[in-house]
Chains A and B, each alone.
Chain A
Amino acid sequence: MTRSSRTRAVVRLVVLVLILAVVLYPLLWMIGTSLKSREEIATNIGLWPDVFTPGNFRAGWQNFDVSFGRFFANSAMVALLTVVGNAISCLLAAYAFARLRFRLRKIWFAIMIGTLLLPGHVLIIPQYVLFKQLGWVGEPWPYLPLLVPQFLATEAFFVFLMVQFMRGIPYELDEAAKIDGASPYTVFRHVIVPLSRPALVTTAIFSFIWTWNDFFRQLVFLSDLQDYTVPVALTLFIDSTSESAVGPMFAMSLLSLVPVFLFFVAFQRLLVEGINTSGLKG
C-alpha cells in the first residue's frame, strides 16, 4: 500500500465515522432522554443522564387508562397474523406466477406489477366504506380490516419477491417430479415450499417490521383505546404535550422500537441484502 492510498483510507474512515455519529445521534439521544428526569431533560443537554430515572418506563407503561402491555399485545397479534397471512397467500400466488402456465397469466402478472406502485392511501376511503358496510369496523373485533387484506396477497411486493426467488429454483426438479406423476400441488408441497424457505423468512421479517411500524391503517381502523396498537397509543402522548410526559413518552417510544431492533441484530445481513436488492436481480 502506498503512502497516499493509506492516507486516503484513513480519511475515508474518519469521514465515515463522522457521518455515523450524525446518523446514530438521534437514537442515542432517545435512549438518554428516556432515562432522564423531568428537570434533567430541560437542563442537561448531554447525551447521558446524570441521574438514571428508570421510573419513566413505569410511568409511561401506566400513562393511560389502558396499560401499554395491552397495546404491545395488540400490536404483536396484528403483526404475527399479518406474517402468517402474507407468507401463505403470497407464496400461493407466487407459485402460480412463477411455475404454472395458465390462461391470462401474463395479464394477471402485469396487473400484479401495476399494483406494486399503487399507493395504499388511495384505497383507504372506499375500503373503510366497504368494511363498514360489512360490519367489520369497530365492534366486536376491529382487526379484520387490517388482517383480511393480508390473507389475500394484496402486498404485491412480497408476491414479486417470491416470484423472483422461485425463478431461481431449477426447473429440472419440477420436471423430475412431474415425470414421476406428481401434480402441481405435490410439486408445490414437496419441491417449492421447502426450497422457498429463504424467501419466506425474508417476507416474514419484513411483514413483521412493516406492520409493527405501520400507522396509517391502524389509525384509521382502530377507534377504541383498548384496541389501540403501540403506534396509535404513542400519538396520545402528543395530545398531552405537558413537559412531564416527555420522559415517559420517550421511554415508551424506545420500548416500541425494541422488537424491530432485535430483528435488526439477529438478521442484519438478511435485512440489508435481502429485500433491497431483490428488485434488481432476475
Chain B
Amino acid sequence: MAISTAPPAALPTGPASPGPASRRGRGGPRRRENLAGYVFLSPWLLGLMGITAIPMLLSLYLSFTNYDALSPFSEVEWIGLDNYRTMFTSDPSFWHAVEVTVTFALIAVPLKLAAALGVALLLNRAFRGVGLFRGLFYLPSLLGGSVALAIVWVNMFNRDGAFNSLLGLFGVEGAPWVNDPRWSLETLMALAIWQFGAPMVIFLAGLKQIPVELYEAASVDGANAWRQFRAVTLPMLSPVIFFNLVLETINGFQGFTAAFVLSNGTGGPVDSTLMYTLNLYIKGFTELQMGYASALAWVFLVAIALITVVLFSTGRFWVHYADGEDR
C-alpha cells in the first residue's frame, strides 16, 4: 500500500544554511530539530511505552503464571508453559473458539468483499442519485458495530422475528436462527456482510483510478464486458482488493460485540458463537483466569501476525502494481 517511510522533501541542511541557527545560540538547526522532534513525539512515545510495550511484556510474563486477578502479585506463581499446554491439549473451548473464528472469517470476509465489489461496480457510473446510494449503502458500516444494532439484528432473526415473518409470506417455514447452534454463527455473518459499505467505498475509489483508455483498448480488441472485467478491472484493482482483504480479515478475527449480544456474553448456544475474543473475555474477566487469558492473547497476536504474513506472501502472486514494483 501507500505506507512508505520516504523522508520529507529535502530540507536545507549542512553547510548551506548556517545562518539562522547560529543567531539562536547553542545547537545547530539539526540539533534543534532533533530536539523538537522528540518534544512533539513525547506523548506518543509515552503511550507506546506505557499503554502498548510494557503491557505487552507484562502480558507475556502473566501468560507463564497462574495469575487470577484476586490474589496479590506476591502470590503469583510461575508455571512455565502450563497455560499453553492446557490450551492446546486439554481445553476444548480454545479449539472451539478457533474453529468458530476461522469459520466466521473464511465465509463472512469473502462474501462481504464480493458484495462490496459488486455494488461498487454498479455504482461506478455517473448518474443522478449516485451519491445518495453510496451514502446509504455506507450507513450500516457506521452503525453496524454498535450494541444497538446487534440487539436489533438478534431480534430480527429470533423465532418470532421479522425475518421469519418475511419467510412466512413466501410460505417458507423459518427457524429459531439465533437459538439454533447450526444457524447462530450465520446470523452473525449476515450482520458482518450487511456492513459491506466500508470496503465498497474503497473499491469505488480504486475503480476511479483505472484509466479509461484500458477499457477502450479492450473493447477495440473485441473484449466483452466479462472479458474486460477479468482482464482489466480485476488486475488493476488487485492492490485495492488486497488492501480490503487484509483489513477485513483482521477485523473479522476480532468480532466481539455481536457475538456478546447474541449469546449474552456466553458464546452460546452450545459455544456456536464463541468468537476468539469473546472466549478471551470470558476466561479473563468472567472466570478471572488472567494468566491463562494472557496466553490466549499471545497466541491470538502470533496468529494474526502469521495470517498477515501469509496474506502478504500470497499477494506477490496475484497483486499487480501498475508501476511494476512491489511496494
Q: Tell yes or no: B310 within 8 A of A by CB.
A: no
Whether B69 pairs with A257 at a CB distance below 8 angstroms is no
Question: Which of B37, B125, B198 has a CB less than 8 Å from the CB of A102?
Answer: B37
Whether A280 pairs with B2 at a CB distance below 8 angstroms is yes
In angstroms, Cα B261 to Cα A112, docked, is: 32
Closest 3 A-B residue pairs measured CB to CB? A102-B37, A152-B47, A45-B165
A-B contact pairs, 13 of them (CB 8 A): A33-B152, A45-B165, A89-B43, A108-B41, A129-B69, A130-B58, A171-B9, A175-B12, A235-B261, A238-B151, A263-B142, A280-B206, A282-B3
Question: Which of A109, A123, A179, A212 has a CB less than 8 Å from the CB of B20?
Answer: A179
Number of interface residues of B (CB under 8 A): 105
With A102-B35, A213-B143 given, can you name 11 additional A-B contacts, CB distance below 8 Å? A30-B149, A92-B43, A101-B34, A119-B253, A121-B256, A122-B297, A133-B73, A148-B51, A153-B43, A153-B44, A183-B36
Q: Interface code A21-57, partner B: CB below 8 Å = 1, 0 otherwise? A: 0011111011001000000001001000000000000
Whether A101 pairs with B7 at a CB distance below 8 angstroms is yes
Whether A215 pairs with B257 at a CB distance below 8 angstroms is yes
In angstroms, Cα B52 to Cα A154, docked, is: 8
Q: Interface code A202-220, partner B: CB below 8 Å = 1, 0 otherwise? A: 0000000100110110011
Q: Tell yes or no: B40 within 8 A of A by CB.
A: yes
Kindly list chain B residues whose C-beta atoms are within 8 Å of the C-beta of A237: 151
Q: Tell yes or no: B240 within 8 A of A by CB.
A: yes
Whether A125 pairs with B142 at a CB distance below 8 angstroms is no
Whether A152 pairs with B33 at a CB distance below 8 angstroms is no
Q: Tell yes or no: B230 within 8 A of A by CB.
A: no
Whether B162 pairs with A45 at a CB distance below 8 angstroms is yes
Whether B148 pairs with A231 at a CB distance below 8 angstroms is yes
Question: Which of B32, B35, B59, B202 has a CB less than 8 Å from the CB of A122?
Answer: B59
Q: Select from chain A the residue with minimum beta-carbon distance to B41.
A: A96
Query: Which residues from 231 to 272 on chain B have a C-beta closer than 8 Å to any C-beta of chain A?
Result: 240, 243, 250, 253-254, 256-257, 260-261, 264-265
Kindly list chain B residues whose C-beta atoms are within 8 Å of the C-beta of A280: 1-2, 202, 205-206, 240, 243
Q: Tell yes or no: A68 within 8 A of B by CB.
A: no
Q: How far is the CB of B190 from chain A (nearest CB, A)?
A: 10
Q: Tell yes or no: A225 within 8 A of B by CB.
A: no
Q: Select from chain B the residue with minimum beta-carbon distance to A153.
A: B44
Q: How far is the CB of A28 from chain B (nearest CB, A)?
A: 10
Given A19-B119, A151-B43, A130:B257 Cβ within 8 A:
no
Q: Which of A26, A149, A175 has the most CB of B within 10 A?
A: A26
In angstroms, Cα B9 to Cα A78, docked, is: 39
Q: How far is the CB of B159 from chain A (nearest CB, A)?
A: 11
